[in-house]
Amino acid sequence: MTDNSPIIQIKNLKKTYRQGDVDVHALRGVTLDIRKGEFVSIVGPSGSGKSTLFHVLGGLTPATSGTVEINGQDLAKMTDADRTNLRKRTVGFVFQKYNLLPTLTVSDNIEIARDIADNRDSKDQKFQEVLRLLGIEHRLDHKPRALSGGEQQRVAIARSIVNSPAILLADEPTGNLDTENSNNVLGLLRDLNRRTGQTILMITHNPEAATYGHRIVHMRDGRIVENEIQVV
């Protein structure tokens, strides 16, 4: 469920990289509002700027110009500590490569996110709720190498949501999965959005995966070229 208030406001966002003697214009004036509780898919070919947008929104790389406001706070005006706290408490990340720690069990991979955020309130209750939602209760004592790709991505999602961030940024979350596991993970994200009202922004090159969102934003050459509302 969404309301009309934007949780992310992007205005005339530009990002230019320097590669040798050449300027690469990754973002060329992107303007976009994302409302609370929306599931928005950003789709486009390689080089369209979608991954750069992801990294700017997550406070992982600065914009060259323009503004990004999250919950009314301008990322460019935040200190490094503020941006770190944003990533700890407000924004969760899901990546294509899972980024699980291989020496830790499933349980420890999820719990480490709570420890980093110093978030121990109702720890057991929230932990069990996340496990039930993602169906991984039976894999707690296993290490990542013993899991399938789909199971590893479920653990990665569990780690990203255990602190109840208002926003979930997912970068190609099904890029390493087969069709069945891709559909399972996408269904989990849609179910998570419906149950909790969590805002989800998913980057994907796959038009079929993009249809799981309320809205599909098409990018090409660093610009938004289409903004399509979905009925889901």
Q: pLDDT tens for residues 72-130? A: 999 999 999 998 888 888 999 988 888 899 999 998 998 888 777 666 554 567 677 77
d(CA 93, CA 198): 13
- How many structural domains compose the chain? 1
Closest CA to 44 of 34, 54, 33: 54
Per-residue confidence (pLDDT) for residue 129, from 0 to 100: 77
| Dihedral over Cα of 91, 200, 192, 174: its sign | negative
pLDDT tens-digit map of 134-162: 788 888 899 999 998 888 988 988 888 88
pLDDT tens-digit map of 119-130: 655 456 767 777
Assigned domain for 1 exists: no
3-state secondary structure of 164: coil
Eight-state DSSP code of residue 231: -
- Domain assignment of residue 24, given as a range: 6-229
Q: Cβ of 13: how many Cβ atoms within 10 Å?
A: 23
3-state secondary structure of 117: coil
CATH number at residue 128: 3.40.50.300
pTM score of the predicted model: 0.87
Decide if pLDDT at 1 tops 60. Answer: no
Kindly report the length of the chain: 232
Assigned domain for 194 exists: yes
Decide if pLDDT at 195 tops 60. Answer: yes
